[in-house]
Amino acid sequence: MSRLKAAVVQVCSDRVVAKNLADIESQLMAYQQQQIDIIVLPECFAMLGGPQAEAALQADEIREWMASTARTLGSWLVGGSVPVRDIGDGRNHASCLVYSPTGDEVTCYNKMHLFDVEVSDSKGHYRESDDFIPGAVPGLVDIGEAKIGLSICYDLRFPELYRTLVAQGATILTVPSAFTKVTGAAHWEVLLKARAIENQCYVLAANQAGTHPDGRQTYGHSMIISPWGDILAQAPAEGASVITAELDLDELARVRQRMPCLNHRRLIRDRKKLASESPRHG
């Protein structure tokens, strides 16, 4: 049997990086004896509700903490998002960092889709592009027993990203988030289930939960979802929590074998044919 144990961490981060990291560490140490294989932290886990420039100044401290935590727990650690400076551009990416059980940083995925929207909540207007530049390349990490496709929050609304990750071999999808209370109530669960079902993957979705210093309200309800769309574990609407579940990779293979949707995709398989048959103008 091929199984992995996953833990998804839910928090309500504030502006103090050291306090946020200490709170997460305290939660995780309670699971130290359980041998967790994969841990997922939410978006902006180290700071939410303050200027991202402040978090960027502490990026090295955050990375050191992630390396130490992964090494101490002997787990793969998928770290939500951290402001990481683009050497060429000089501005920051919202980056998902992944650390191996030995504490090595193995990959950095830069959030591709930035949250520039209007929401009917107390904050009203979100413009992530004021603080970040978008990434250009999907992120995938091979952990041996499985491949993890990386995404961050607003990415969840763009299914073509996940199709690309699955085409590259992903069997687990991670969605660290700070989904707002309004958009979360409307779309969080249905989008997570859709990504799991259509891609026949496990989905590990870590969300922020509660009211933050800038007035933002996040939805909570962090989830672990099976390739069949079943919710294996779910956190409450507010407050800190750690949820865990076993990921049965043999069952995932059986789901894909019994219903081979990924092999039945016509637009992917026939795109050259479709292109050649399309009417030409001019």
CATH 3.60.110.10 fits 3-277, yes or no: yes
Q: For every one of its 282 residues, what pLDDT tens digit does the chain have, with 9 covering 90 and above?
A: 699 999 999 999 999 999 999 999 999 999 999 999 999 999 999 999 877 778 888 999 999 999 999 999 999 999 989 999 888 787 899 999 999 999 999 999 999 999 888 887 767 678 899 889 999 999 999 999 999 999 999 999 999 999 999 999 999 999 999 999 999 999 999 999 999 999 999 999 999 999 999 889 999 999 999 999 999 999 999 999 999 999 999 999 999 999 999 999 988 655 545 445 555 444
Residue 111 is among the residues annotated as catalytic for this protein? yes
Q: Which of 111, 128, 181, 193 is catalytic?
A: 111
Tell me the one-letter amino acid at 228.
W
Torsion angles phi and psi, residue 171, rounded to 5: -120, -15
Pick left, alpha or beta for residue 64 (phi over 0 → left; psi -120 to 50 → alpha; otherwise beta): alpha
Show me where the domains of the chain are located: 3-277
Residue 153 is among the residues annotated as catalytic for this protein? yes
Q: Which of 12, 44, 96, 153 is catalytic?
A: 153
Residue 246 is among the residues annotated as catalytic for this protein? no
Q: Evaluate whether 205 touches 192 at the Cβ level (below 8 Å).
A: yes
Q: CB count, 10 Å around CB of 105? A: 15
Q: Which of 12, 43, 181, 201 is catalytic?
A: 43
